[in-house]
Amino acid sequence: MPATQRLRNELFARLAGQGFRSIALEIDRVAALAADDYVRNGTGTLDTALSEGFSHGWGAMEGNRELLAWMREYNRTRPPQERLSLHGFDAPTENFSAPSPRRYLEHVRDYLGLDLDIAGLAGDDERWERTEAIMDAASSPGASPEAGRLRAAAEELLVALRAREREAPSREEWIRARTHLTAGLGLLRYHRQAAVPLERNERVTRLMAVRGALMAQNLLDLHAIEAPRGPMLVHSHNAHLRKSPGGMRVADLDMHWIGAGAIVASLLGDRYAFVAGGLGRAGALGVGDPAPDTFEGLLGARITTWGLAPVPSGARTRTDPVPQQSGYFPLDHATLDGADAVLFIADPDLVQLARA
């Protein structure tokens, strides 16, 4: 939603003035390297950074274009240590598809200068990437003998990469290789889970759990990289970042899993803060005014445009928006459990007017 991205950009600009040096978005971590190269070093063009650096088609969103352009301008006159960086923390998957791990593992092989036939082990990319490979266990290559040999080769690459760490000529290139290897290993785990025969709800739930674990691994890696420079802002759906176990009900699916936020919060403690996002009304989404006794209703009584507020109590979950139609998942007790604050948008149209 444009208003959400606009507020994200504005908040990150303010936080940069308070010592934040990085932002992580819910996009493929490997793809985001291209966007980070642009904002930190001016590599390539803005259009290329948006087309290659964002997964899920989010490079077409105007708010992301504005974010990259602003970050590049901010970094232009600053020394490397003070430049802002942009990361993705998602796995390279979509809702019902996931790519072959081949190119990620080949990147590491080439970095290490090894003679290893990854393509021969992986086979045709299409057999990994088609929807059936994720949604139909019988069509998945994830449990095949070739996949087993590919996992063994990936583990060998991991050992070799770790052995190279201390003598690596470029720390940045070593981290880039490790990022590719993390993605490749994650895809092998994801495809292995897809090969388990389960009914549809359980299948999607297990895949969401694997994705959540991969997101958490990426966030912990990024925290280790960025913490010496300053705090990091993470922008994503509530379901991925909340501190309580995740959950989502969409159409006939009722999914519950341990999400990235719950995993990271358990390991980082008070170094991880979760600000839930809430919405009052949005005509473009078909979301009307919330009832006064809902979480959004209580927040709307205090906030007329947008703002940060303490977590409200003594309220109920609103039932008027249908998530699969509007795209909005109302605030509920599970989402707010452990939240440190709520960023509430009363009406996106009012936010746009306030910033005009």
Neighbours of 133 (CB within 10 A): 22
pLDDT by residue (tens digit) across 27-51? Answer: 999 999 999 999 999 999 999 999 9
- Is 173:100 a contact under the CB 8 Å cutoff? no
Q: What is the mean pLDDT of the chain?
A: 94
- Is 253:200 a contact under the CB 8 Å cutoff? yes
- Is 323:346 a contact under the CB 8 Å cutoff? no
SS (H, E, C) 130-198: CCHHHHCHHHCCCCCHHHHHHHHHHHHHHHHHHHHCCCCCCHHHHHHHHHHHHHHHHHHHHHHHHCCCC
Q: Looking up tokens 């990259």, which residue turns up?
A: 68
Give the predicted TM-score (pTM) of the model. Answer: 0.95
Q: Are strands 306-309 and 341-345 parallel, antiparallel or unpaired?
A: antiparallel
> Rounded mean pLDDT of 94-105?
94
Q: State yes or no: pLDDT of 303 exceeds 60.
A: yes
Tokens of 321: 């928006």
CA-CA distance, 252 to 249, in Å (whole number)?
8
Half-sphere exposure of 290 (CA within 13 A, CB side): 28
Tokens of 94: 């979509």
Tokens of 16: 């940069």
Tokens of 92: 């390279």
| Helices then strands, each counted (H, E), the chain | 17, 8
Closest CA to 317 of 301, 334, 338: 334
Q: Which pLDDT band holds residue 352 (cuts at 50, 70, 90)? A: low
Q: Are strands 341-345 and 275-279 parallel, antiparallel or unpaired?
A: parallel
> Rounded mean pLDDT of 293-318?
96
Q: What is the DSSP string of 114-131?
A: ----HHHHH--HHHHHST
pLDDT of residue 96: 87
CA-CA distance, 66 to 239, in Å (whole number)?
25
pLDDT of residue 301: 96
pLDDT by residue (tens digit) across 171-202? Answer: 999 999 999 999 999 999 999 999 999 999 99
Closest CA to 292 of 307, 262, 312, 272: 312
Q: Which pLDDT band holds residue 251 (cuts at 50, 70, 90)? A: confident
Q: State yes or no: pLDDT of 92 exceeds 90.
A: yes
Q: State yes or no: pLDDT of 325 exceeds 80.
A: no
CA-CA distance, 211 to 260, in Å (whole number)?
8
pLDDT of residue 1: 67
CA-CA distance, 240 to 208, in Å (whole number)?
10
Helix or strand holding residue 24 (H, E):
strand 22-28
